[in-house]
Chains A and B, each alone.
Chain A
Amino acid sequence: MNVDHVQTVNVNATSVTSVTSVAITTTTGNLVVLGGSINRSTSTDTLSVSDSKTNTWTQNPSSPVNVGGASPLAQVCQFYSSLTSGGSGHTFSLTSGIGGRDLQLFVSEFVGPVSSGVQDQSSGNSDTSTKTPTSGATPNRNQAQEILVAHFSADEGTNLQSISPGAAAFKIPSNGSISSNSVACPGAVEYQITSLEGTDAGTFVNGASAPCATVIGTYKTPLPPIPTDDFHKFPRPVLRDVRGGFYP
C-alpha cells in the first residue's frame, strides 16, 4: 500500500477566538493530523478542533505541551483522525476556550494509515530557550512501518529567521512552517515515513533561540504482507553424497 504525505495547509491569526483553514479536497480513510498553537494564553486554555465533515478527533496523549508556566509563552497541541468522511470543500477549525488569542493551525493529510487503532507512540517536551526544539524520544514503536508527525510552536514575540528539520529523515512540507512572527505564532510541522523500528524524536533547527513547545505522534500503517511462498525465495540446499555426487 502506498503511504505518503498528501498535502499541508496552514492558517494563523492574531487576537481571535477561532480560525478555519482554506477548503481542500481530502480522501475518506486518510489520516489527517492537526497541529494547533496558541500563545500568551493560560495553561488552562483548552484548544479544540473540528472539521466541516464532522469527523471524530482525538488528541495526541502527549499534548498539549506548554512552555512558560501558568501563562505559557507557547502551547502546542496535536490532534488526529482517520477520516470517515472526506471529500471536496473540507475545512478544519481550531478554537480557543478563552478567545482574544493568537492561533496557528497546520493541517496535514497522509494516505495509507491503518483503519483502526492508528495512534502508536507519542512524546512532548518544552525548552525555555533553544535553537533546536525537541519533543524528546518516544517509547519504542510497536511496529516498524509508521508515519511520524511532529509540531512545534515558539513564543509569538520571536523571529526564528529560519526553520529546518533536525534530522535528515524528517521533511517539512510546503506550507509547513512559519518562521517569523509577522502574523501570529512561529512554528512548523515535519513528518517522516519510516520502516525502521525504534524510538523517535521530533527535532527542529531554528535560526534564533526561543521558548518552544514540541510534540510528536507516531501513526501506524499496514504491515507488509507475509510471503506465503518462501520456498522459492531461498536457494535450495545442495546435498552431496558420500560418493562425491549430487542429489538432484
Chain B
Amino acid sequence: MSVLIDHQAVNVATGSQDLGPVNLPDGLSTLTIRIARCTTPTPTIWPDVATSISVGLFVSVDNGANWIASGSLTSTGGIVVRLGVESPETVMDVSPLPVGNGRQVKATVAVQNGPLVSNVTVEAT
C-alpha cells in the first residue's frame, strides 16, 4: 500500500477544494479515500447533517493533460453509527484504475451547506 495524501486538512465554506495531484505508483490498481467524520471525541469535524459533500477521484495517464473519473461518493455529515460504534471516517474503494505508467491522481471535494472541516487520506494498493 502507498499513502498518496496523508490526512490533508480540508476547510471549505461552500464550494470545492482540490487535493493533489500526486504521483500514482505504477502497477497499483485500487484507490482508497478516507474522509474523517464527526464522532463524540471529534465534535468539530463535519458535525452538521446538512453539510453534504461530493468527493471525486481522478487519474491522469498523460501527465495531467486529461483526467479520468475514477470513482466518487456523496455523503452527509453528523455522527453515523456503523456496526455499533461511531464511524470515524467515510471510506471508499474503487478498482480497477486506468492503466499506464507515470500516472497521477487528484481528488476534488465539493461542499454544500458548509463549512466542511475534515481531513482526507488517499491510498493506493
Contacts and interface: CB of A to CB of B under 8 A. Distances in A.
Interface stretch (A10-18, A61-69, A74-82, A213-221): A10-18
A19 B73 contact: yes
Contacts of B50: none
B119 interface: no
Contact of B98 (A16, A22, A99, A183): A22
A100 B75 contact: yes
Contacts of A156: 82-83
Nearest to B35: A15
B18 interface: no
A13 B73 contact: yes
A22 B96 CA distance: 8
Interface in A113-137: none
B118 interface: no
Interface string B63-85: 00000111111111010101100
B93 A22 contact: no
A20 interface: yes
B97 A22 contact: yes
Contacts of B37: 15
A40 B81 CA distance: 10
A22 B87 CA distance: 25
A14 B69 contact: no
Nearest to A9: B96
Contacts of A20: 56, 69, 71-73
Interface of B: 32, 37, 52, 56, 68-76, 78, 80, 82-83, 87, 89-98
Ranked 8 nearest A-B pairs via Cβ: A13-B92, A23-B69, A20-B72, A15-B90, A16-B75, A15-B80, A11-B94, A183-B93
8 contacts: A13-B92, A13-B93, A14-B91, A17-B73, A17-B75, A22-B95, A22-B98, A184-B93
